[in-house]
Amino acid sequence: MSEVNGKNGSASSGNGAGSEQPNGGKTRIAALVEDSKVIRDRAIEEIKALKQPEKTDLWKSILRVKHDETPRSRALGVLSNVFLHLHPAKINRDAVAYNYTWGMGGISFYVYITLVFSGTLLMFYYHPSKVVAFRDILYLEHDVPFGKLLRNMHRWGAHMMVITVWLHMFRVYLTGSYKKPREFNWVVGVILLVLTLLLSFTGYLLPDDQLGFWAVTVGTNMARATPLLGHDGPLGTQLGMTPFNDVRFGLLGGSIVDSNALLRAYIWHCVAIPIIISAFMVVHFWRVRKDGGISGPSPMMLASEIKEPRKF
Amino acid sequence: MDLHQLWTIISTPDNVPIVMLLFVVPFYSWYALRQAFANDRLIEQLEADPAMAKTHHRKVQPYRPEWSREVHVWPFLLRIEFLAAIIVTVILVVWSITLNAPLEEPANPTLTMNPSKAPWYFLGLQEMLVYFDPWMAGVVMPSLIIGGLMVIPYIDANPLGNGYYTFKQRKYSILTFLFGFIVLWTSMIVIGTLIRGPGWMWFWPGMTWDHNRLVFEVNRDLPDIFGIKSGIMKSLFGGFVVTLYAIACGIGVHKLITRTPFNRKIYGRMSLVQYITMQVFMITMIALPVKIILKLLFRIKYVWITPWFNI
C-alpha cells in the first residue's frame, strides 16, 4: 500500500508542477494530516500507558510506593499509609491467629468508627431540645430515608461496643497481657471502658422517651447519694449540700431530668466524650506499639525460671 | 409457667444484648480455658523434662525451625482485619434490619415506670442497691471497681503467664477475675434484667410479673437480732462486726495466697504496699457476696448503723 501511495504521490507532484498555489495548499494539508497522526499516535501511546496506572505521576504522587509482591513493597505499603501505619510491618506468626486475641480490640475500634459515622448522620436530624427531641425520633423512624435503619444501627452498635470492650478486657486479663511492660496501657484501657459506658449512658436519654428518662433518673439518683458531695449522701447535709448545689445538680443542670439535662447529655454524648475517648484511644494504640506490640502468644515461662525481684 | 411473660422479657429489644451475653460470655470463657489447659499440659511436660525445655519453642502452635518467626502484616493481618470488618458490618446491618431500637412513650415525669431500670450494663449496680445504700452501691462500689481494675497490674507480683493463656500458673488471679467478672458483674446484670420485676421484686423466669404482688418479708438489722437498742451501742456493735469481718476475710485471703509453695514464692515477691492494696480490694469485693447472702437468706438489711451512714 505504501508503495502505491508513493507512486500516486509522485505522479500528482509531477502533474501539479505548473500550478504552485494548489500544490502548496496540498502540502499544508498533508503536514496537518501528518501532525494529527503524530498527535493520535501519542494519544494512543498515553492511553496504552493508562493500562498501567501505577506508572503515572498522579498515581505515584498519591501512593508513593510500588505495590508488587516484594517484601520491601509490602512493608512500605503498611508503613507509608497513614491509616495502616499503626501496624508494624511484620508481626509474630502466631499472633495473627484468631484464637489468641479474638480480634475484640480491633472490633471495638471498628464498631466505634461505625458509631461515629451513624451518629454524625443522626445529628443532622436531631435537635437536643425538650420540645422536638421525641418528635425528631419519630420523624427519623417514619420519614427520613433509612432513618430507622440508621437509628437501629447506632443503638445496636452501642450495645455491641460495650460487649466487645468487655470481652477485650477479659481476653487481656486471661492472657496476662497487662503484665510488664504493659501495666500502664491496662490503666488506659480501664479508662476507655468507663468512657464507653458513659458514652452509651449519655446517649440513652437523647430519644427523650420513658425508657431513657427513667433510666437516667435512676442512674443520676445515685449521684445524690455521693458521700460528701450529694445531698442524700453520708455527711452531705453537714457540708451544706442541697438538691440545688450538689453533684447531681451539676450533672443534670437542674434538680430534675429536664431540658438542661437533655442538652448536657447531648453535648457530652456528641462532643465532649468522643473527643476525650479519641484522645485516650490514640494513647492506647500508641502504647500497644511502644510496649512491644501485641503481647503474644509468647513462649511460656516456667516457674523454675522466675528471677529474684530487684531489691531497692 | 408463664411462657408469654418469659418471651416478653427475653424479646424486649434492649434485653437482647443480655441474652447474647448469656451465650457469648460462657463461650469465650470456655474458649480461653481450653487454650489455657492445653498450654498447662505443655508446661507440665516442659517442667518434667528440662532437656526438652531447653530446645522447645514453648508454644502449642505448630512450629518448624525453618519457618520465619514473623509474617508480613500486609496481607496476613490486614486481610483478617478486612474480613472481620465485613463480618461485623453484616452482623450489625442484619441485627438492625431485623430488630427495632426501642422507643416508648414521650418522657413523662408524672408516670413512673415499674420496674424502672437503668441501661442493662448498669443493672449490676442497680441490683447492688438491694444490698447496699445508694452511696455505697452507686458511688463507692463503682469507684472501687474502677480503681481495683486499675491497680491489678501493679499488685500482681506473679511474672508467669505473660502473653499466653494459662490456668495453672495464675490460679489465684484468674479465679479472682472470673469471680468478679462472671459471678458478680455478669450474673448480677442477668438477675437485674431477667429476674427483677415490678417493685424490683424477685420473679423466677416464667413467673408472671404481678404488679400487685406483696412480699411479707420483714427486713431486720443485725443489731436488732442481738437485741441491741441504743444508737451508740448499735454503732459500736456494727463497727465491731465489720472489723471482725475484715479481719476474718483478710486472714482467709492470706491463707489462700500462701497455700502452696509456689503461692508463697509469689507472696514473697509482694511489697507491703502491694499486699495491703490487694487486701483492701479483696475484702471489699468479698463483702458484696457476703451481703447478698445476708440479705437473701437471712433478710438482714444493715449490719452497721450509725447516724451518718449505714452498711
Tell me the three state secondary structure of residue B105.
coil
pLDDT value at residue A152: 95
The one-letter amino acid at B105: E
Residue among A75, A100, A218 whose CB faces B116 most closely? A218
* 8 Å CB contact between B117 and A218: yes
Q: Scanning every residue of chain A, which has its alpha carbon at the shortest distance from the alpha carbon of B156?
A: A179
- The owner of cell 461505625 is A114
Q: Is B102 exposed, middle or buried (0-12, 13-18, 19+ CB in 10 A)?
A: middle
The mean pLDDT of A290-309, rounded to a whole number, is 84
pLDDT value at residue A180: 86
pLDDT value at residue A2: 44
B150 vs A189: CA distance, rounded Å:
9
Residue among A99, A226, A304 whose CB faces B139 most closely? A226
A253: region left, alpha or beta (phi > 0 left; psi from -120 to 50 alpha): left
DSSP A303: G
pLDDT value at residue A263: 95
pLDDT in tens, B101-122: 988 889 888 888 888 888 888 8
pLDDT value at residue A245: 86
The mean pLDDT of A139-144, rounded to a whole number, is 94
Contact A87 B78 (CB under 8 A): yes
Q: Scanning every residue of chain B, which has its alpha carbon at the shortest distance from the alpha carbon of A208?
A: B107
B240 vs A51: CA distance, rounded Å:
86
Q: Which residue has the higher pLDDT, A222 or A278?
A: A278
Q: Which residue has the higher pLDDT, B241 or B113?
A: B241
Mutate to test the interface with A, among B52, B94, B96 (most CBs of A within 10 A): B96
Mutate to test the interface with B, among A210, A289, A305 (most CBs of B within 10 A): A210
Contact A309 B269 (CB under 8 A): yes
Contact B162 A177 (CB under 8 A): yes
Residue among A99, A178, A256 whose CB faces B35 most closely? A99
Tell me the three state secondary structure of residue B197.
coil
pLDDT band at A17 (very low <50, low <70, confident <90, very high): very low
Q: Which residue has the higher pLDDT, A193 or A15?
A: A193
Residue among B101, B112, B169 whose CB faces A155 most closely? B101
The mean pLDDT of B198-212, rounded to a whole number, is 85
pLDDT band at A12 (very low <50, low <70, confident <90, very high): very low
Cβ atoms within 10 Å, residue B20: 14
pLDDT in tens, B136-190: 888 889 999 999 999 999 999 899 988 999 999 999 999 999 999 988 898 899 8
pLDDT band at A176 (very low <50, low <70, confident <90, very high): very high
Q: Scanning every residue of chain B, which has its alpha carbon at the shortest distance from the alpha carbon of A213?
A: B107
DSSP B181: I
A186 vs B207: CA distance, rounded Å:
42
Give the minimum alpha-carbon distance from A202 to chain B in angstroms, rounded to a whole number: 10
pLDDT value at residue A21: 57
Q: Is the pLDDT of residue A137 over 70?
A: yes
Give the minimum alpha-carbon distance from A143 to chain B in angstroms, rounded to a whole number: 15
pLDDT value at residue A162: 94
Contact B107 A186 (CB under 8 A): no
pLDDT value at residue A154: 96
B218 vs B220: CA distance, rounded Å:
6
* 8 Å CB contact between B134 and A232: yes
All three cell numbers of B266, joined, read 509469689
What does DSSP say about strands A90-92 and B70-72: parallel, antiparallel, or unpaired? antiparallel
The mean pLDDT of A55-70, rounded to a whole number, is 81
- The owner of cell 499509609 is A81
pLDDT value at residue A280: 97
Mean pLDDT of chain A: 87
pLDDT value at residue A235: 82
Q: Which residue has the higher pLDDT, B64 or A158?
A: A158
Q: Which residue has the higher pLDDT, B248 or A98?
A: B248
pLDDT band at A32 (very low <50, low <70, confident <90, very high): very high
pLDDT value at residue B228: 82
DSSP A178: T
pLDDT in tens, B1-31: 788 888 888 888 888 888 888 899 999 999 9
Mutate to test the interface with A, among B39, B47, B63, B103 (most CBs of A within 10 A): B103
pLDDT in tens, B280-292: 999 999 999 999 9
The one-letter amino acid at B174: I
Helices B16-48 and A147-174 meet at what angle, rounded to 10? Answer: 20
Q: How far apart are the first and last CA of chain A?
A: 97
Q: Scanning every residue of chain B, which has its alpha carbon at the shortest distance from the alpha carbon of A146?
A: B97
DSSP3 helix / strand / coil % (chain B, rounded to 5)? 65, 5, 30
A93, A273, B69, B78, B175 from A96: Cα distances, Å: 6, 32, 12, 9, 28
Contact A178 B153 (CB under 8 A): yes
All three cell numbers of A246, joined, read 450538689
